[in-house]
Amino acid sequence: MRSQDVTQQLTTPLNAPAYPPGPYRFTDREYFTITYRTDPRPLERLVPEPLRIAEPTVRFEVIRMPDTTGLGDYTESGQLLSVEYQGERGEYVLAMYVDSLPAIASGREISVYPKKLGAPRLAVDSDTLVGTLDYGSLRVATATMGYKHAPLDTDRAREGICCPTFMLKICPDTPASRGSANWSGSGSRTSP
């Protein structure tokens, strides 16, 4: 393979990339989110400067992605913290757990999402919507609510998924990045 062909590749292995090039289209996504208030002290230890805690709240979410071009059918869950950066309110993506290698790799390498392998699930059990997250053999989260008991206002739902998000990209052991961190922000979580 010629060097100019190598530089055109997004990822390795060169003969079977971990994920295909985008753009990616997400069809029929299903979101289940729960926001809870917590002690601000642990959040302050988790949120890196220069971000500041805006409210001591955490949003736990489980998202079904049944039809994503190039990445397939997968589910992810995550924790998002209410923060402020240079006067702008948004969310710091603390962690995401995903059940798909292409979604993990593309999300981490292209979009800076802090993704790890996990087993999130979103399902209906009789008249109850159930979101779970297993990490290895451990159940670490279970969330439930009545299934389609009342519709959510579309503008409010859009506001919840389109607020600014802040993520940290760490590039260790490169001369240009030693001792530094690069911040990434986006207007919405529409990338993998």
Using CB atoms within 10 Å of the CB of residue 65, give its burial: 0 to 12 exposed, 13 to 18 middle, 19+ buried: buried
Q: How far is residue 103's CA from residue 18's CA, in Å, rounded to a whole number? A: 9
Reply yes or no on whether the pLDDT at 179 is more than 70: no
pTM: 0.82
DSSP for 1-12, written as a single string: --HHHHTT-SSS
Reply yes or no on whether the pLDDT at 190 is more than 50: no
Mean pLDDT, rounded, of the chain? 87
Could you report the per-residue pLDDT of 111-152, keeping only the tens digit for each? 889 999 999 999 999 999 999 999 999 999 999 999 988 888
Contact status, residue 58 vs residue 16, Cβ threshold 8 Å: no
Using a pLDDT cut of 70, give the percent of the chain over it.
90
- The catalytic residue among 115, 116, 148, 169 is 115
Could you report the per-residue pLDDT of 32-77, keeping only the tens digit for each? 999 999 999 999 999 999 999 999 999 999 999 999 998 999 999 9
Residues in the chain: 192
Q: Work out the average pLDDT over 163-178.
A: 72
Tokens read off for 143 = 């969330």
Res 77: pLDDT = 97
Q: Is 160 helix (H, G, I), strand (E, B) or coil?
A: helix
Q: How far is residue 24's CA from residue 150's CA, in Å, rounded to a whole number? A: 31
Q: How many CA atoms lie within 13 A of 177 on its CB side?
A: 10
| Whether 115 is catalytic | yes
All domains of the chain, ordered by start, with CATH? 17-186 (2.40.400.10)
Res 192: pLDDT = 37
Tokens read off for 129 = 């919507």
Q: How far is residue 96's CA from residue 14's CA, in Å, rounded to a whole number? A: 27
